[in-house]
Structure 1
Amino acid sequence: MIRKVTLLAIIIFINISFAQWERVSTRYTGTLGKMAIFNGFVYAYGDSVGTTTVFLRSGDQGNTWDDFSAGMPDELFFLHEHNGELMGMFFGSNVGNALMVSADNGESWTTRSSFSIDGGAVLSLHSDGTILYALSNREKIFRSTDNGATWTEFVVSYDGAPQRVGLDFAAIGDIWVYIGLNLGAVISTDGGATWAANNPQFAIGSVNVVNGEFYGATYGMYKLDAANQWVLYNNGWPGSAPFWATGKSVSSNGQTVFAYAQGLFEASVYQSNDAGNSWSTVATGLPTSGTLGLNDFLVADQHYAYCYYRSLNAAEFGIYRAQLSPTAIADDKTALPGEFKLAQNYPNPFNPSTTISYHLPNANRVKLSVYDMLGREIQTLVNEQQNAGQHTVQFDAQQLPSGVYFYSIDAGNFQATRKMLLIE
């Protein structure tokens, strides 16, 4: 994952709109502070002083934060959700370079596997929904089909020379995109056997997968088309600052793209409803003076967005939150066998009960909840590990007043919200 002072961005597909940013924590999580979401919890982590890990967790959408820093086994570099498990990449004198997993939402950790990289370390995790990948900061990529218990090693070699410093990685099947320092994107179309450099005018600095497509960013946001060519995706971007895509992607069946751009003294979140042809600012309230900018950005659920904001002004840095208003809900689409889908409830309008259906392409931990117009959680319908396939659940609203309600699903990297109407 790349970290530069000059720019940063993330791509998120979802149909929601932003309100005002508010600071919900003043904790400093270091120059490379990151955020993550898992099982309804929001995480903020990094190193505040040297190799001292800061590890914070919120179970109430950022209102309060629990500090588990003292119990961390070593320095945490990366959090990742894969097949319903919370995973962390650690590196330090206590555990070495280890992939560790937590069965209690980050309160304790056990080692699943370890790495030994000559002159480097594995510092990040990536997945395509079924296969887990580990990226080293040297020329090696590791692939696991058993949730990180065992690994197969691949060396990224271009023009006969290994690409020594790996910055980012993404995969969809046999198409792999590796980001190397001072090189940009190197792509393999045969599952890591051969590689070729592939960049637009400027080298791609980071890569992300959203809704089954690769997105890369440099001085602009690009999408990799069917011919494996980068196509500019941000025509009409309101600012001139360069930016990268990074962090955790969250996708649904929505049509809106969210991105953030970071310059030396400004950072803003934008949205596009027309495939990047025009952009508009979607939130206000982030600091504008003495700013280094956003370190990581994500939609934690369908109700709030969070970012860790690192500023030159100590009075400004911390964790910020913006409330999301589910004013536009995704159109109903037929799910293909390999797709996530949250269907429209039936009947709708309803009285007093209705059926909610969803499709999982692979096993995942699923949380399905109902919210009122103010974003308050009314009822949790599902909160468990589930197998791939079609699922249905009944929602009984006989104790609730008439009105508009929303149901939201969180299943790994998939999140979606739909609207329903209760009529009595």
Structure 2
Amino acid sequence: EWVMLVGKPEVEFSPQSVPVTSKHNPEFLVRGDVAAGSSLEFEFATSTAYGTWEDTLVVRVSEGDDATPPRIGYPYFTISRDLLRVAVPTSELLDGSAIDSAWVVVRDAKNEVPITELPLRWDDELWTGDWTGAAGQKLRLQLVAVDQHGNQGAGVLADAHIPPMAPAVSVGPWQAVDLPAGDAFGVLDMHFAPNDPEVLYAARRDGIWRSSDGGVSWSATGMMDYQRPLSVDAHTPWRVYVEPNLVSTDGGMTWNELDIPGDAPSLVALEDVGRHGLIYANSGGKDAELLVSADGGISWQAVGMRGLSEMRVHPQVAGLIYGRRDSSLYYSDNGGSTWEKQRLPRHFRRILPDPWEPDGLYATSGDTLWYSADRDGRWQPLAPQSSERWPFIKIAPSRRRQGLVFAWEGSGLRSELWRSEDSGRHWSVMSSVSYARVDTLIPNPHDADHLYIIDRFFRRSATLWETRDTGETWQTVRIPNASTFIGVIRSDGAGNFFAGSEKWLKAREDADLVDWSPALLASRNAGGAWEWITRIGFFKSSWSNYRNDSIEALAVNSAHIIAHTGQGYVRSDDGGQTWERFDPPGDRGSAGSYAVIAVDPHDPSVWWRILRGVWRSTDGGTTWEERGPIEGLYDGRGRSTVRWFTGEEAGARGLILDPSREGHVAVAAGGTVWNSTDAGQTWRPLTVLKTEGLMVEALAVHPEFFPRWYAATQAGVYVSNDAGRSWLKTLVLSEGPEYSDNRSFLQGRRLRIRFAPQDPNRVFVTDGLKLFESRDGGQRWRDIGQSLEGYPWFNDVAIHPAIPEWVYAATPRGLFRLRSEGIDMAVQGAIAALPAASALLPNYPNPFNSRTILCYRLTHAGAAELVVYDLLGQRVRTIAKGVQPAGEYQIPWDGRDEEGRLVGSGVYLLRLKAGDEVHTGKSVLIR
């Protein structure tokens, strides 16, 4: 209470020098009201592997005026559009007396010329200030403060970048829909802030959560979905990174993408302890180049190292980094400018720097732990004295107590934990949770006795355990905030909504332990009130896959509800009141792969299912028959030839059941669309989309204009006006080859294409990261998900059946509703300018024998009709009729009349009526 610590709390000694000298000296600022002549007593302790020595140290406060400037740290800031917002906690303005004033000097990063001085105001334990600058500027910020005695101090420079303004208009706000309470998720990953013992981050299935009081209370950040490993900045607890390229500077509330060069870049090591903003990234690919940024990710440069399979930054020594490639170890003492090489004696799975020794390294190889105390390539085994082999040993050295190391069997198959007090030379078994299966152990960097373990035996029912006495006793920890995860939302068209979710349920009524099981939320009044439908069948969970027990595929019509959970299928014939589980054949592949399921528009007793293969049931799902097979989709051993980036089988994905032609079915496999005209008995390739190497993951047909098809990949949305024969890309979802890794399979990023029931030309597409709406049948799009704050995640979208402007978004944190008015917005699409008049374009081929393509163009959305007449003026066939969006159309005619009969050879007249315009043409049929 009398002094304030400046710098590190530990004193580090260099044992090679004589006499022994300290490398880091702790400094303290004395409170301004401590009288001259006072004495302060410090307790002094030295801890080594051989014991602890304690003493006291008395310091006398000398006479004199306060002439010590404040110690200034890092200005925390966030950027939203052109607004720069600075928030500085008291921990970054250290002074023995009170701070009188503070401001931020804003400079141009290119020439260091000051642009402005931003005054900060005191607001609830924070110094805050806002500045609106020119979009696109790269800035350099410096925090300055003056104490009450007039001493001025300045802090380190921090780089900031105000991105260019996006030409978009907000379409919010979104409102959270009041749902019944969900259950608290378990923790999948957890991190302490290295420089603040009170700040923790936890990753759950519903995103990232933050605690600012040592884990007592938690609040949701803006990240709605946990995707890749997260890391916390070494210098500020509010700067957080999530692989592959996301950064937040305000504790996770808002997120930005770092522009890292390369084909599939990813952050690999973060924040050198010796300098703010120094981070490392991998450019991606097999021969990836190591990149370094000295300004927090704004600019990058190569450091002359390629192909590293692993990289580590020393947690205590500035500029010391390690990398592993094949059987060689590389290390650099200057942040990657120069490298030295060491030949490793064997293949190591993982290397980890010793936080207490600059030259010390731990490594794991099979069931053995290794240690090297120098750079001469000498390694010694340190395996725990176990009666069994540990094929996947993992370790975690303590950053708080020298010599303290923890080890465990990292595959999660055993519950044994080990502890060493002498850097791994001798080991003892720790007390552990009897049925826990340790996936991760997290030591508190500020308290050597405080540990967390993440248990994957019951994936969410007891995932996080805590000990404050180095493993003597353990207790369960739950982040109490509950979310109602919504994986899919569908309407039956009669005012009923069904939302796929999950709940805690017992496998049996007499069971002691609980786990998660699929559950439905139902609304019988068009979204006004919701209720749980929980008992739809218990599915045994798998600790290796945390996404396989919620409903995320759902088919609804007036007679049936069919749901797929990734572990199995259930159906209800009474609106969800009672459920029956069914296990159809053909579900090859791992858990967590979700099916496409649909009810045939021509017969509600006929169900279709896509998962690896194409399956059809004609008795409401009781028995199933595989249709096809699709030529070339499977190899000789029944394995799919279409695979994800990970090597997992993908098979067929999207599904179209043509409402206008019974038995006409289309599916997507890779980038090819396959078509069947006999209910799937035979298949032929219809077209190959130019999808930048990405597979088609969703197909859909326009609810009224049946020749219009939609296809979606991770990169964009494609529209066809001729039933899949030709395609035009109208929406860009993601750019760059980094999306070729098909993260949808790895992270649950599934594409959805939905239509508004009142207006089929209103089309909605979500890829998880974004939510787009089109009001002209898919020609032009606007991003309506951008106004949901933070870093949202969209699992699905639905439209209110009675109020068409209400859009419902299904997210890991429940349902959100937006009133989507028809306002002007920035749009992207394939049509930049339409021709002045509609037209009936030449058909091809002409003359034709069995099939021709009829082409026409509409300049405005509206009623249109294309009809074929004979020379006597008799109507032969109506090719298209109804309200259509503007655009160009290509529709095949197979030379048949309305009854499906072949017409004879001759000249046929074509008549297009678009609004008040009428256009005519001729086509010749030769049999």
* Structure 2 Cα separation of the partners of residues 135 and 168 of structure 1: 10
* Structure 2 Cα separation of the partners of residues 282 and 98 of structure 1: 33
SS at match of 1:115: coil
Please show how residues 168-207 of structure 1 align to structure 2 within 5 Å. 168-172=654-658, 173-180=662-669, 183-191=670-678, 192=680, 193-196=682-685, 198-202=687-691, 203-207=695-699
2:720–2:728 CA contact under 8 A, matched in 1: no
Cα deviation, residue 333, structure 1: 8.6
1:185–1:205 CA contact under 8 A, matched in 2: no
Please show how residues 310-321 of structure 1 align to structure 2 within 5 Å. 310=812, 317-321=813-817
Which residue is 2:701 aligned to? Answer: 209
Whether 1:53 aligns to 2:518 is: yes
Q: Which one of 34, 37, 42 corresponds to residue 491 of structure 2?
A: 37
Flag the structure with more relative contact order, 1 or 2, with Cα contacts below 8 A and sequence separation at least 6. 1
1:187–1:197 CA contact under 8 A, matched in 2: yes
Cα deviation, residue 322, structure 1: 1.8
TM-score (norm. length: structure 1): 0.57
Whether 1:143 aligns to 2:616 is: yes
Q: Which one of 523, 533, 547 corresponds to residue 68 of structure 1?
A: 533
Which residue is 2:889 aligned to? Answer: none
Cα deviation, residue 319, structure 1: 0.9
1:42–1:57 CA contact under 8 A, matched in 2: yes
1:258–1:270 CA contact under 8 A, matched in 2: yes
- Greater Rg over alpha carbons, structure: 2
**Alignment gaps of 5+ in structure 2:** 1-170, 183-482, 505-514, 540-550, 641-648, 740-748, 824-860, 866-876, 884-927
Which residue is 1:301 aligned to? Answer: 801
* Structure 1 Cα separation of the partners of residues 881 and 487 of structure 2: 30
Cα deviation, residue 198, structure 1: 3.7
Q: Which one of 57, 63, 81 corresponds to residue 556 of structure 2?
A: 81
* Structure 1 Cα separation of the partners of residues 501 and 758 of structure 2: 28
Q: Which one of 607, 626, 630 corresponds to residue 157 of structure 1?
A: 630
SS at match of 1:157: coil
SS at match of 2:177: strand
1:244–1:261 CA contact under 8 A, matched in 2: yes
SS at match of 2:752: coil
Which residue is 2:602 aligned to? Answer: 130
Which residue is 1:108 aligned to? Answer: 578
Q: Which one of 693, 717, 725 corresponds to residue 229 of structure 1?
A: 725
**Alignment gaps of 5+ in structure 1:** 1-17, 311-316, 343-424
* Structure 2 Cα separation of the partners of residues 258 and 137 of structure 1: 24
* Structure 2 Cα separation of the partners of residues 66 and 247 of structure 1: 26
* Structure 2 Cα separation of the partners of residues 152 and 52 of structure 1: 28
Cα deviation, residue 118, structure 1: 6.0
* Structure with the largest fraction of strand: 1
* Structure 1 Cα separation of the partners of residues 491 and 498 of structure 2: 6
Q: Which amino acid is the alignment partner of residue 41 of structure 1?
A: N
CA 233–25 in structure 1, closer or farther in 2 if over 3 Å, else same: farther
* Structure 2 Cα separation of the partners of residues 340 and 77 of structure 1: 35
2:518–2:537 CA contact under 8 A, matched in 1: no
1:220–1:232 CA contact under 8 A, matched in 2: no
* Structure 2 Cα separation of the partners of residues 90 and 275 of structure 1: 28
Q: Which moved more, 1:46-55 or 1:295-304?
A: 46-55
* Structure 2 Cα separation of the partners of residues 185 and 53 of structure 1: 33
2:755–2:764 CA contact under 8 A, matched in 1: no
Please show how residues 400-411 of structure 1 align to structure 2 within 5 Å. none
Deviations 1:290-335 (A, max 9, x none): x3x100111131412211123xxxxxx22101235699xx97899x
Cα deviation, residue 43, structure 1: 1.9
Cα deviation, residue 227, structure 1: 6.6
Q: Which amino acid is the alignment partner of residue 609 of structure 2?
A: L
Which residue is 1:403 aligned to? Answer: none
CA 149–332 in structure 1, closer or farther in 2 if over 3 Å, else same: farther
* Structure 2 Cα separation of the partners of residues 77 and 256 of structure 1: 23
Q: Which amino acid is the alignment partner of residue 811 of structure 2?
A: Y
* Structure 2 Cα separation of the partners of residues 98 and 305 of structure 1: 28
Cα deviation, residue 208, structure 1: 1.6
Deviations 1:90-110 (A, max 9, x none): 5699xxx5552231x212224
1:215–1:245 CA contact under 8 A, matched in 2: no
Cα deviation, residue 114, structure 1: 4.7
1:177–1:185 CA contact under 8 A, matched in 2: no
SS at match of 2:560: strand
* Structure 2 Cα separation of the partners of residues 124 and 261 of structure 1: 16
Deviations 1:79-131 (A, max 9, x none): 2123x2132235699xxx5552231x2122246x6513364598442134124
Q: Which amino acid is the alignment partner of residue 554 of structure 2?
A: L
Deviations 1:169-207 (A, max 9, x none): 222244433234xx2444023332124374322132211
Q: Which one of 759, 776, 789 corresponds to residue 273 of structure 1?
A: 776
Q: Percent identity?
A: 16
Cα deviation, residue 216, structure 1: 0.4
Cα deviation, residue 215, structure 1: 0.8
1:37–1:43 CA contact under 8 A, matched in 2: yes
Whether 1:287 aligns to 2:742 is: no
CA 248–102 in structure 1, closer or farther in 2 if over 3 Å, else same: farther
Whether 1:167 aligns to 2:653 is: yes
Deviations 1:320-357 (A, max 9, x none): 01235699xx97899x99x9999xxxxxxxxxxxxxxx
* Structure 2 Cα separation of the partners of residues 269 and 322 of structure 1: 13
Q: Which amino acid is the alignment partner of residue 168 of structure 1?
A: G
CA 251–228 in structure 1, closer or farther in 2 if over 3 Å, else same: same
Which residue is 1:117 aligned to? Answer: 586
CA 260–272 in structure 1, closer or farther in 2 if over 3 Å, else same: farther
Q: Which amino acid is the alignment partner of residue 22 of structure 1?
A: Q
2:656–2:699 CA contact under 8 A, matched in 1: yes
TM-score (norm. length: structure 2): 0.28
* Structure 2 Cα separation of the partners of residues 233 and 42 of structure 1: 32
CA 20–239 in structure 1, closer or farther in 2 if over 3 Å, else same: farther
* Structure 2 Cα separation of the partners of residues 197 and 214 of structure 1: 13
1:21–1:283 CA contact under 8 A, matched in 2: no
Cα deviation, residue 74, structure 1: 3.5
Deviations 1:49-98 (A, max 9, x none): 765113212234434321121x222455532123x2132235699xxx55
Cα deviation, residue 136, structure 1: 4.5
* Structure 1 Cα separation of the partners of residues 672 and 484 of structure 2: 29
CA 47–244 in structure 1, closer or farther in 2 if over 3 Å, else same: closer
* Structure 2 Cα separation of the partners of residues 331 and 186 of structure 1: 29
